[in-house]
Amino acid sequence: MTLHQLRIFLTVAKLKSFTNAAEELGMSQPDISIHVRHLQDELGIKLFEIVGKKTYLTQAGEVLQEKVSAIFVQLQEANQLLSDMKGLARGSFHVGASTTIAMYILPKPISDFGRKYPGINIHLKTRNSGAIERMVSAMELELGFTVGVPIKQVKSRIFMNDEVVLILRPKHPLAKRGEVTLAELYKETFVLRGSGGSASWRFFEQLFGNAKSRPKVQMELDSTQAIKWAVAEGVGISLVPKHSVLQELKSGLLRIATIKGHKMSCPLNIVTHPQRKLSPIARAFLEIISSQQFFDAQ
């Protein structure tokens, strides 16, 4: 059993696909299959079940995935400690962020970090907040940046306070009002980030609750940028963090409104695993974050 075999196994287990694992690792699909077969032969137990075109972990595969994931986390931590001994001259760092934070908040800190530590590679994954939190909880990411109230499985700290606002195109009948009632919004059509943990869905559900009575959702899109363009074109209205539309408000492309009786505070969080000690590189990155003007010490 080699680390190479185990890395291949973990990649197949994560992606649930031999083909996708081959693409991610830069190998051929037959080579992936051979390595997995040799690993199963050596262990004397089947790790995957293939049903139709879908790949599933067996119970033995799930046990091995859990144990091997912990081994690779320890190896990564050892590598980061060695990087610290070299004065952060070389190394890599995996961080995740919600799409809006990745687009509107992190570019400057990442640029500042790159100038200070040019030998360290930052790998930034962008997903919705829920996905980033789950990846941090599963130790797939060391550090995450999310919008809204985080799940209980992660440790969190607010680094900036924002608010969720209703965005509308300038010609929308409600655009000149500045404040609207919740009752008026039941007649409207919404455009939101994809469900499953996005901040816009969390606040939409917070406002309207029961799926049978809430307004129509016309579109689910993958990015806040796409949502802004859809709203500007009159597809619907949406809920987004205010910091993500400052440029559009300035240019007049969009208008915002508040919802009477509903102050939607929107914390931007740093999330980490509660039992994982941060690497020196992660701590150095947080020092860069703390030096920015948007930092909220509370």
CA distance 285 to 109: 8
Q: What is the mean pLDDT of the chain?
A: 88
Residues in a beta bridge with 144: 96, 271
Q: Which CATH number fits domain 89-159+267-290: 3.40.50.2300, 3.40.640.10, 3.40.190.10, 3.40.50.300?
A: 3.40.190.10
CATH 3.30.465.10 is the classification of domain 3-71: no
Tokens of 291: 């030096």
CA distance 243 to 164: 9
Q: Do domains 3-71 and 89-159+267-290 have the same CATH topology?
A: no
- Encode pLDDT of 258-296 as tens digits: 899 988 888 899 999 999 888 888 999 999 998 876 544
Average pLDDT over residues 98-103: 87
Q: Phi first, then psi: what are they for 136, rounded to 5°?
A: -65, -45
Average pLDDT over residues 87-98: 85
CA distance 195 to 150: 15
Does pLDDT of 84 surpass 80? Answer: no
CA distance 33 to 31: 5
CA distance 119 to 114: 8
Does pLDDT of 188 surpass 90? Answer: yes
Higher pLDDT, 73 or 293: 73
Quick one: angle between helices 3-15 and 29-43, nearest 10? 110
CB atoms within 10 A of CB 36: 20
Does pLDDT of 85 surpass 60? Answer: no
Quick one: angle between helices 59-85 and 280-290, nearest 10? 70
Q: Which CATH number fits domain 163-265: 3.40.640.10, 1.10.10.10, 3.40.190.10, 3.30.300.30?
A: 3.40.190.10
- pLDDT of res. 296: 44
Q: Where along the chain do its domains lie?
A: 3-71, 89-159+267-290, 163-265
CB atoms within 10 A of CB 212: 5
Q: What type of residue is 233?
A: E
CA distance 169 to 255: 6
CA distance 92 to 95: 10
Average pLDDT over residues 177-195: 89
Place of tokens 């570019």: 107
